[in-house]
Amino acid sequence: MVRLEPRRGRLILHLARRKFDWVIETRYWRNPTIGFLIWLLLPIVIYYFASLIGLKPVALLSTLISANILAMICIPLTLQIIGTGRVNFGPHFFVAIGGYVAALLSKNFDVHPALTLFTAFAFGCLIGLALSPITIISKGLYFVLITLLLPFILWEFVYWRSDIFGAETGIPGVELLFWTGDLITDLMYYFYLSFIITFVLLLISDRVLRSRYGFLMGVINEDEEIAATYGTNVNRIKIITFTLTSGAIAIAGWFLAHYQGSFTGPAWLTPAFLVIILLTTTLGGKGAIYGIVISSYVIAILREVTRTTLGEFSTVALFTILLIFLYLLPEGFWGLYRKKRYREYAPSIRIRRREVT
């Protein structure tokens, strides 16, 4: 029994015994819904728009995919930063772990992508679990340093055993996820896959942050000792958070490997990629996971625009623009949107240090 009932200012949909109402008046529209719809329809709109004015949509679509990949890395990273109270400067290490696991398994043992996804996640978790004691032992800058050194270690290791990891040439011959013969269709599939992954990560993170555990994570982010004084098992929450989010970051590496058909660690283990990840998280807003989607799109599009228009000078231009953003938007893009709404709790991300002034 489906019935549509128009009322003043709203539309009510009766579905069997349940009611769904949709407010017509624009100021009551829910922004997440609008954002979700825009995000969902973006590639299709771009595709038709591009074909209308005779542009090739390939570059546009791959930019959107790289934005999704960026969001895929930054959403778990934000969760991790909140839950451990420490800023991880080695997220690309976990991306590379996931990428290498997926690529090696797929190339050498012909493992199905679904299985490599699981393995990449599990392996990322495992490495995260092995490294999780550092979230308890070291604080502030020291944690930053250890995590900053991790990608360097992997980099050196990859070059040392280049017979396995292929160093700069990478590991070719990874099974592609979609192979229809039409590049645009493939890219559409890739976009929607990355979209689904990102969206699921976003939903999970949102749920977690709104839950009781998310609340405790927020307190840990603010003041660990207080959290412990009031009965929170800080170490357990930190270890669980670090482990699971490390695995989630490794999923991005899995996607990269199967999207490009090869995985080249040294291309991702660079400080430049680290800066892009970090700035996506910070420009997203302080601990705001929705802001990350916005900032990853802004940064990915910016990267593509500078790359196509400025050529050799593009990196300089990109990083200068990002630096200017950092000066002008200390609260991030999300901060612009919700300037006055302090009632909703937003944990701040910062590195705790001895006060100087």
Q: CB under 8 A: which stretch of 39-47, 121-129, 151-159, 188-196 binds other proteins?
A: 151-159
Tell me: does residue 138 bind other proteins (CB under 8 A).
Answer: yes
d(CA 242, CA 143): 13
The CB-of-157 to other proteins minimum distance in angstroms stands at 6
The CB-of-301 to other proteins minimum distance in angstroms stands at 18
* Nearer to other proteins among residue 187 and residue 227 (C-beta): 227
Tell me: does residue 73 bind other proteins (CB under 8 A).
Answer: no
- Backbone dihedral angles phi then psi of residue 117, each to the nearest 5 degrees: -60, -50
Tell me: does residue 89 bind other proteins (CB under 8 A).
Answer: yes
* Nearer to other proteins among residue 110 and residue 312 (C-beta): 312
Cα-based distances in Å from 341 to 233, 237, 251, 337, 344:
30, 28, 33, 9, 6
> Which of 274, 288, 289, 294 touches other proteins (CB under 8 A)?
274
The CB-of-155 to other proteins minimum distance in angstroms stands at 9
Tell me: does residue 272 bind other proteins (CB under 8 A).
Answer: yes
Closest among 254, 192, 199, 261 to 41, alpha carbons compared:
192
What lies within 8 Å, CB to CB, of 152 at 6+ separation is: 269
Q: CB under 8 A: which stretch of 14-22, 62-70, 245-253, 316-324 binds other proteins?
A: 316-324
Tell me: does residue 320 bind other proteins (CB under 8 A).
Answer: yes
Query: How does 140-157 read in b/e, with b if 16+ C-beta sit within 10 Å?
Result: eeebbebbbebbeebbee
Indicate the burial class of 81 (C-beta count within 10 angstroms; 0-12, 13-18, 19 or more): buried
> Which of 47, 189, 192, 213 touches other proteins (CB under 8 A)?
213
Tell me: does residue 322 bind other proteins (CB under 8 A).
Answer: yes
First-to-last alpha carbon distance for the chain, in angstroms, is: 67
Residue count, binding to other proteins (CB under 8 A): 72
